[in-house]
Amino acid sequence: MIGVRLAEDLVNLACSGGWSPSAVCRLLRRSFVRSVDLDALDDTTMQSLRDWTHQLRSVFDSDSVAARTEHMNVILEDGVRAVRLAVHDGLPPHLHFAGAEDDLVQRVKALTSGGLAIFAVEAEAGRMGICARPGCGRVFVDTSKNGRRAYCSAKCGNTHAVHRYRERQQDARHSSGRRVSAPTR
């Protein structure tokens, strides 16, 4: 789940306007990307990571299994160099999709594309998308039991529900020609 969560976090960081070397560095460290410090995140590296993030977004933005599969294949072709089973640093066995000799951008590409591919296989290329609240634009990975998540967070889901409720109340007032009072709390 590390790779798919990093993909989600990078896309959401770019969406939020908080894209900066320090924010990217925090995300990469939290995702166990080795040899990452602020000095490694020069302008060229940051632009390459941002460009990659736009490609990752296309996976979340796909409206069908066929489209998601097509976008996944594009990022896999660019991202995965080799697949190795690894055990190190007290971690359980896990897959590496890049070699230790690869640069930071290639390692991020490998981790995110490989992670998304594994998740897509497990979720039958579903269970990921863009928040349904108008104006949000954040992406999500759905790990819920029922697989019907439509919002990036409970806050967005609640905000959208309140907005829809208020619109229905306003429509009811206009269609009846009288004022309907709001419920008291």
pLDDT value at position 12? 97
Q: Among 53-62, 106-115, 160-169, which is the least confidently predicted range?
A: 160-169
Q: What is the pLDDT of residues 30-82, one digit of tens each?
A: 998 877 888 889 999 999 999 999 999 999 999 899 999 999 999 999 999 88
pLDDT tops 60 at residue 185 = no
pLDDT tops 90 at residue 168 = no
Greater pLDDT, 88 or 140:
140
pLDDT value at position 178? 58
The residue extents of the domains of the chain are 2-149, 153-185
Mean pLDDT to the nearest integer, 99-113: 92
| CATH number assigned to the domain covering 2-149 | 1.10.3300.10
Sign of the torsion formed by the C-alpha atoms of 20, 34, 71 and 117: negative
Report whether 113 contacts 80 (CB < 8 A): yes
pTM value is: 0.84
Q: How confident is the model at residue 176 (pLDDT cuts 50, 70, 90)?
A: confident
Name the average pLDDT for the chain. Answer: 89
Task: Output the six-digit token pair for 99.
Answer: 């070699």
Opening angle at CA 151, ends 79 and 170, nearest 5: 145
Q: Is 135 exposed, middle or buried (0-12, 13-18, 19+ CB in 10 A)?
A: exposed
Q: Is 159 exposed, middle or buried (0-12, 13-18, 19+ CB in 10 A)?
A: middle
pLDDT tops 60 at residue 89 = yes
DSSP calls for the chain? -HHHHHHHHHHHHHHHT---HHHHHHHHHHTT-SS--GGG--HHHHHHHHHHHHHHHHHHT-SSHHHHHHHHHHHHHHH-S--EEE--TTPPSEEESS-TTS-HHHHHHHHHHHHHHHHHHHTTT-SEEE-SSTT---EEE--SSS----SSSHHHHHHHHHHHHHHHHHHHHHHHTS--PPPP-
